[in-house]
Structure 1
Amino acid sequence: MGEEIHGRTMGLVGLGEIGRRVARIAQGFGLDVLAYDPHLSNQQILAHGATPVTLPELLRRSDFVSLHCPLDASTRHLMGAHEFAAMKPGAVFLSTARGGIHDEAALYEALQKGHLSGAGLDVWACEPPAQNAPLMSLPNVVATFHTAGVTHGGRRNVARSSAAQIAAILRGERPPHLLNPEAWEVVCERVRLSR
């Protein structure tokens, strides 16, 4: 039998486009949603229906910890042995973000020793992972290979969204899903010069 999730706590690390959608879904199932995102103000996090917390508080309080942050120098191995040990005993770890944000060896240890009750992984440091990857041997790991969201409709939506973003840039409009806003002025100048 499964476990009831209503009334439990979901901790989101990263509250971008996908993190915000996960927050709405979690709320629909009656979960309390905590979020840690150093790029957003507390007011922005609250506006997206989550309670702003520090990463240590999120780990301590969450029954489910789900990663939705980019992989960069500040997030590489953000989740290591110390962080997994800081998670609530019996919690579940989820990552659909990027491989390398969590330390796979440290996660294996936390799961094998029973501190965490399970993990759902769609991303790996090396994709696809080797068939003999230690995490793949555990019965409490559900694994996909960066394909969990791959559907025909999803691919069409990505293509449509990408085309809309490019068209907006060519019209001199700021695209709605700009990932690197610091580069926007440089792009505007290039578009102006190319006309």
Structure 2
Amino acid sequence: MAPNTKRVFYVNNVAAPVYLDILGRRPDIQVDRLENDTPDAAAEPVLAQAHAYQIGSSRQELAMKLQGHAPLLKRCPNLLVLSTNGAGFDTVSLADATAAGVIVVNQAGGNKEGVAEHVMAMMLTLSKRIVMSDHVMRSGAAYQRRDFMGDDVQGRAIGIIGLGHVGSRVAELCRGLFQMRVLAFDPYLTVDQIAAKGAEKVTLDELLAHADYVSVNCPHTAESRGMMGAAQFSKMQPHGYFITTARGGIHDEAALAAALAARQIAGAGLDVWEDEPPPSDHPLLRFDNVVVSPHSAGVTRQSRHNIARIAAEQMLDILDGKPPPRLLNPEAWPLYRQRFARILGFRPEE
């Protein structure tokens, strides 16, 4: 083992092999793999020596004891960084990490193309009623072409909740491909910042009232949890479609099912779920005007490769003492720098 070896571990899998390829080129980096069911006796030495944890699984796929909360951090006295795949970070408690002097980073933007294209695919599939017509034609039931009359997307309005990497790309595609009006609800961006992304800054109520399509592209946080409930669905237009590729829990699934049953909205495209995978008898799976996928929007070959490359490059920068470009808890930096110097023997950059 090389002097001053930095220890990185992951559980179950990484986004793509390129992550291990990049880290493997560095003789001072050792990578360990654990699994959800690795016995504690075998896991403890890895956790005790680890400097970095690359989280490659979703909240539902990763055992609770291996998620980035206080109990795990107590088992990792030398841990300096928690790194999540993609833009989501719901496998980590930012508060617990900050209190422990551990920084948290994500790979925001790495899968933006895959997710944004998925939003477009759902929007077009719903508008053209493709799934509904496909099912009926295969069933052998009698039908008329007009039964599947859909809508053109050209010139209509899309409301985007969260104008980050993915939301901005959705805005760009909608505006460029179909000359759509783009409304955006993002309390963290100014009017000018949103205008620079080709959108109009509006309140959530204004967005719901005027959008023909509502796309959720914000992170799952305490602030956004339950953001789309019965009151919000009731404010959407009856011909409007709800699409989410963000995280389960941001929308209330029971409220959405009720809105669909009451025909308050025209349909929905759902890539994320409170429990993943959802049970086969989930109420939302009974509607023929709902298009579903298993949290696979960002799971394209290109997106996974890009996320893995970004994650590996950012991890090496962090372990070399450089400031990470995707830091989620900057308030942890002062304590982190102290711990970094004590654990690795040199102080990271400001």
Same fold (TM over 0.5): yes
* Secondary structure of residue in 2 paired with 1:23: helix
Q: Considering only CA atoms, is the larger Rg found in Structure 1 or Structure 2?
A: 2
User: 1:134 aligns to what?
Assistant: 283
Quick check: 2:246–2:272 contact (8 Å CA) kept in 1?
A: yes
CA distance in 2, matches of 1:11, 1:60: 10
CA distance in 2, matches of 1:185, 1:15: 29
1:82-106 deviations in Å (ceiling 9; x for gaps): 0000111210000000000000011
> Mean alpha-carbon deviation: is it higher for 146-155 or for 80-89?
146-155
Quick check: 2:298–2:304 contact (8 Å CA) kept in 1?
A: no
How far residue 187 of structure 1 moved from its aligned partner, in angstroms, is: 4.0
**Higher RCO (Cα < 8 Å, 6 or more apart):** 2
User: 1:6 aligns to what?
Assistant: 154
Quickly say closer, same or farther: Cα 1:73–1:20, change in 2 above 3 A. Answer: same
CA distance in 2, matches of 1:20, 1:192: 38
Quickly say closer, same or farther: Cα 1:136–1:114, change in 2 above 3 A. Answer: same
User: 1:89 aligns to what?
Assistant: 238
1:65-117 deviations in Å (ceiling 9; x for gaps): 00011111111110000000011121000000000000001101111111111
Quickly say closer, same or farther: Cα 1:83–1:166, change in 2 above 3 A. Answer: same
User: 1:160 aligns to what?
Assistant: 309
Aligned partner letter, 1:84: F
How far residue 168 of structure 1 moved from its aligned partner, in angstroms, is: 2.8
1:26-63 deviations in Å (ceiling 9; x for gaps): 11121111111111122211111111001110111100
Quick check: 1:80–1:102 contact (8 Å CA) kept in 2?
A: yes
Quick check: 1:71–1:101 contact (8 Å CA) kept in 2?
A: yes
**Normalising by structure 2, what TM-score?**
0.53
CA distance in 2, matches of 1:20, 1:187: 32
CA distance in 2, matches of 1:69, 1:138: 25
Quick check: 1:170–1:191 contact (8 Å CA) kept in 2?
A: no
Quickly say closer, same or farther: Cα 1:166–1:21, change in 2 above 3 A. Answer: same
User: 2:181 aligns to what?
Assistant: 32
- How many residue pairs match? The answer is 195
Quickly say closer, same or farther: Cα 1:59–1:18, change in 2 above 3 A. Answer: same
CA distance in 2, matches of 1:39, 1:33: 17
CA distance in 2, matches of 1:185, 1:33: 40
User: 2:272 aligns to what?
Assistant: 123
CA distance in 1, matches of 2:157, 2:191: 18
Aligned partner letter, 1:71: H
How far residue 190 of structure 1 moved from its aligned partner, in angstroms, is: 4.0
Structure 2, unpaired ranges of 5+: 1-148
Quick check: 1:64–1:94 contact (8 Å CA) kept in 2?
A: yes
CA distance in 2, matches of 1:82, 1:91: 15
Note the 1:1-195 alignment, pairs <5 A. 1-28=149-176, 29-193=178-342, 194=344, 195=346
Quickly say closer, same or farther: Cα 1:3–1:184, change in 2 above 3 A. Answer: farther
> Mean alpha-carbon deviation: is it higher for 120-129 or for 166-175?
166-175
**Normalising by structure 1, what TM-score?**
0.92
CA distance in 2, matches of 1:181, 1:9: 36
CA distance in 2, matches of 1:88, 1:183: 43
Q: What percent identity do the matched residue pairs reach?
A: 50
* Secondary structure of residue in 2 paired with 1:70: coil
Quick check: 2:230–2:255 contact (8 Å CA) kept in 1?
A: yes
